[in-house]
Amino acid sequence: MNKRIIFIAAGVIIAALFLSDIIYKRNSSIPGVFTKAQTAEVSDREASKIYNEADKLAAEGKILDALNMYKRILAEYPGSALVSQARSKLDDFSVRILFSPIPTQDSTVYEVVSGDNLTKIAKKFGTTVDLIMKSNALSGNLIRPGMKLKISKAKYSILVDKSQNILILKSDGEVFKTYIVATGINNSTPIGTYQINEKLVDPTWHKAGAVIPPGSPDNILGTRWLGLTLEHYGIHGTTDDSALGQQVTAGCVRMSNKDVEEIYCIVPVGTEVTIID
């Protein structure tokens, strides 16, 4: 009796497996029903169309339209093999647009009035003099009444992820650009939320028993310093790009000089910096 039950159960299992295989094969051939591999293939194909269209728009000088197409890939096809390339293009074009007179949803046009100066305007809008100059291709601080200036109204913040050694610049809470950085050796960069309270061009490095001047190959601070409300800690440049992406610093966040100069231009004193594990 027991043997009979066992044989019947085994037969049921074999039949179920056989039927499931048939159903799987039938479904694989039915239009509109896809396997995971087929779904991924369709996703990559659709993402590729959008990516190529974005590149075409960029080549035609339609930068904002291209930017929106790259954003579509990230939003609609997060599993696509093109996500990394789209993210890189998005980072590049986001900065190019910010540093140009091209108007955006988070910018405004300000008409200079008598008594204005760039410092006063930057303070009014919570931006930087450097960004105003860059966005309007100004070669100096001289402005005159009647001039119309593109001004960024975005509120920027910074997130440093030590586990990935990346710094994410956010604009109104949305990812604007991601940078590779170096953080503290043995995970020593303190976690928490701080503010930028100091900005220096070509900083002098004061180390134990020595003062290292700007431009010296021994000055590990590079070309910019953004000091934090956490004393003795900050975001700065480097003299050795090869160490980026690693936990090698004495605790500060280290960027390439090119990247730290970009960040320096964009974020004002008071910008929030959050550091996480």
For the annotated catalytic residues, the residue numbers are 236, 252
d(CA 270, CA 159): 14
How many angstroms from the chain centroid is the CA of residue 237? 17
d(CA 175, CA 29): 41
The label of the residue with tokens 């305007």 reads 121
CA-nearest of 176, 169, 159 to 67 is: 176
d(CA 236, CA 224): 5
d(CA 188, CA 254): 13
Entry field: residues in the chain: 277
What tokens appear for 50 in the block? 């959008």
